[in-house]
Amino acid sequence: MPTTPATATHSSSNGTAEAIMLELVDENGNTIGTAEKLAAHQAPGQLHRAFSVFLFDEQGRLLLQRRALGKYHSPGVWSNTCCGHPYPGEAPFAAAARRTYEELGISPSLLAEAGTVRYNHPDPASGLVEQEFNHLFVGMAQEQPKPDPEEVVETAFVTAGELAERHALVPFSAWFMTVLDAARPAIRELTGPAAGW
């Protein structure tokens, strides 16, 4: 497989591409080792640490992103505000804030932990597998996104009703409903009952 910005982006001091390493975990989320990013996603998948971010505006609308077409995994599909993997030893909270800024150009406010969820989602299109122990975060987006086109094709703020309509019509990431449903109690606490989440 050719090296792309998605599979190897770190540049070392001698100018060569450095493999992106993920933190492997056991079923309880305890670190047990590391693996290269692509290798961890190849079937049957290795259980690794991940995070998912859900940001809302003042009207209680969720910020969605459509993943860049150049992504090696789930390109061009809609998903939650931001998701990714902490570097080995990086706190999930710090990784979530860092990647939200890198992908969308915004710094989340009131970012709070919303639990964890463990899942195994194969991606039929690529043959890759999301075998993840996912840390969930909810917060506010109090500025307009400025997406990095290498990461994000477009963004949209949607109500709960608009999300249901969109989800029925266009492709979403395999993990989207799993992480959304797991985060709903924290989302309701943040947005209030009127927002309908």
Catalytic residues: 83, 132
3-state secondary structure 119-148: EEEECCCCCEEEEEEEEEEEEECCCCCCCC
d(CA 178, CA 64): 15
DSSP-derived 3-state class of residue 98: helix
3-state helix, strand, coil in the chain (%, to 5): 25, 35, 40
183 Cα distance to chain centroid: 13
Which of 48, 37, 63 has its CA nearest to residue 119? Answer: 48
